[in-house]
């Protein structure tokens, strides 16, 4: 098979298209002939050696793909060779063929392109697990999402609206602001122009929000606690500005706050299968009906994976970037 190697790791230049042996599906696994693979920020961290894969995962890059089932392992009953699927992978998506547990795959209807489908699993699994399972976001509550125009952010805006929440986001440019509004954010705060904490207090008449989904960390953490109202939940999914900071925990006690977080990759197969089942019941039908969507801002041939990483590193992208492997 063809795949992208990141060698010993480093900057984007290390990414090379190479050939290797095609994996075989074990019990409960499917082999996917990849049409498109999604690019996610954790891939950049893994390439740089800052996010080592779990011991039982593929060491190759690529956490999500869409394509056709090429082979099924023992005990797989729900998929057949030729089925169009999108899957959360345990790594290995930047390749012409990729293994995934059968229970981490979802069907792709003929009306949806594989390029769109490849942009769905990692963000929607992550957003579901962190907003609904951990964050316990409910109708009538308020959510603040940082990085509103990221792949994760655009999904979070829509899922929050879907459950009936009011959505606040932060972004770093006017273009990203316009996008978040188009995706349904009620309040978009450009953090380069105004202080998000002051603005949220102003909009909510001092009450604050119920859930914060934070990928920035650093100085934001203290302000996140300030933005939460009583019984609020802070959910941490990344630390783009660092995970270490000087911290006053007083608001946690005074407002009975909960601080939690998670990474998708380290979850067990069973936990990911449960998230898949929840997405199949809720998000997948809404995506199929056009009530929810994704935004793919750029496609690169697999051989140009380094260009895709450079674009994501630049921060100019909005929504998702995908790699074209076998195409539609």
Ligand X SMILES: NC(=O)c1ccc[n+]([C@@H]2O[C@H](COP(=O)([O-])OP(=O)(O)OC[C@H]3O[C@@H](n4cnc5c(N)ncnc54)[C@H](OP(=O)(O)O)[C@@H]3O)[C@@H](O)[C@H]2O)c1
Q: Which residues form the interface with ligand X (CB under 6 A)?
A: 40-42, 122, 126, 147, 149-152, 171-172, 176, 215-216, 237-238, 240-241, 262-264, 312, 315
The H helix count followed by the E strand count for the chain is 11, 15
Supply the minimum distance, in Å, between the C-beta of residue 223 and ligand X. Answer: 13
Query: In degrees, to the nearest 5, what angle opens at C-alpha 304 toward C-alphas 298 and 308?
Result: 40
Query: In degrees, to the nearest 5, what angle opens at C-alpha 282 toward C-alphas 279 and 288?
Result: 95
Nearer to ligand X, 46 or 96 (CB): 46
Measure the CA dihedral 39/307/326/7, to 10°: -80
Query: In degrees, to the nearest 5, what angle opens at C-alpha 126 toward C-alphas 83 and 42?
Result: 95
Residue whose C-alpha is closest to residue 216's, from 166, 152, 157:
152
The DSSP bridge pattern shows strands 296-301 and 320-324 to be: parallel
Q: How far apart are the first and last CA of the chain?
A: 18
CB count within 10 Å of CB 10 equals 12
Alpha carbons 57 and 265: distance in angstroms, whole number: 9
Residue whose C-alpha is closest to residue 65's, from 264, 322, 272:
322
Residue whose C-alpha is closest to residue 93's, from 50, 153, 46:
46
**Residue 98 Cα distances to 60, 67, 301, 305, 313, angstroms:** 10, 10, 17, 16, 25
């Amino acid at each position: 098979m063809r795949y992208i190697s990141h060698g010993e790791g480093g900057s984007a230049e290390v990414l090379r298209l190479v050939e290797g042996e095609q994996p075989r599906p074990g019990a409960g696994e499917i082999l996917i002939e990849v049409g498109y693979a999604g690019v996610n920020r954790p891939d950049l961290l893994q390439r740089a050696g800052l996010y080592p894969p779990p011991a039982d995962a593929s060491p190759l890059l690529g956490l999500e793909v869409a394509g056709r089932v090429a082979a099924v392992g023992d005990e797989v009953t729900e998929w057949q060779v030729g089925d169009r699927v999108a899957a959360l992978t345990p790594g290995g998506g930047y390749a012409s063929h990729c293994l995934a547990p059968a229970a981490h795959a979802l069907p792709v209807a003929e009306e949806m392109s594989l390029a769109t489908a490849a942009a769905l699993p990692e963000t929607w699994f992550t957003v579901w697990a962190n907003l609904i399972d951990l964050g316990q976001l409910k109708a009538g509550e308020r959510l603040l999402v940082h990085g509103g125009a990221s792949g994760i952010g655009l999904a979070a805006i829509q899922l929050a609206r879907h459950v009936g929440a009011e959505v606040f986001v932060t972004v770093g440019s006017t273009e990203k602001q316009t996008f978040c509004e188009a995706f349904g954010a009620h309040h978009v705060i450009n953090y380069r122009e105004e202080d998000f904490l002051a603005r949220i207090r102003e909009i909510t008449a001092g009450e604050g929000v119920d859930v914060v989904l934070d990928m920035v960390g650093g100085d934001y953490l203290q302000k996140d606690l300030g933005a939460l109202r009583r019984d609020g939940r802070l959910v941490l999914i990344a630390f783009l500005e660092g995970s270490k900071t000087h911290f006053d925990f007083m608001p946690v006690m005074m407002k009975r706050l909960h601080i939690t977080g998670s990474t998708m990759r380290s979850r067990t197969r069973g936990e990911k299968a449960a998230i898949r089942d929840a997405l199949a019941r809720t998000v997948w039908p809404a995506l199929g009906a056009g009530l929810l969507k994704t935004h793919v801002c750029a496609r690169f041939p697999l051989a140009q994976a380094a260009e895709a990483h450079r674009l994501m590193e630049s921060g100019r992208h909005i929504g998702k970037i995908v790699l074209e492997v076998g195409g539609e």
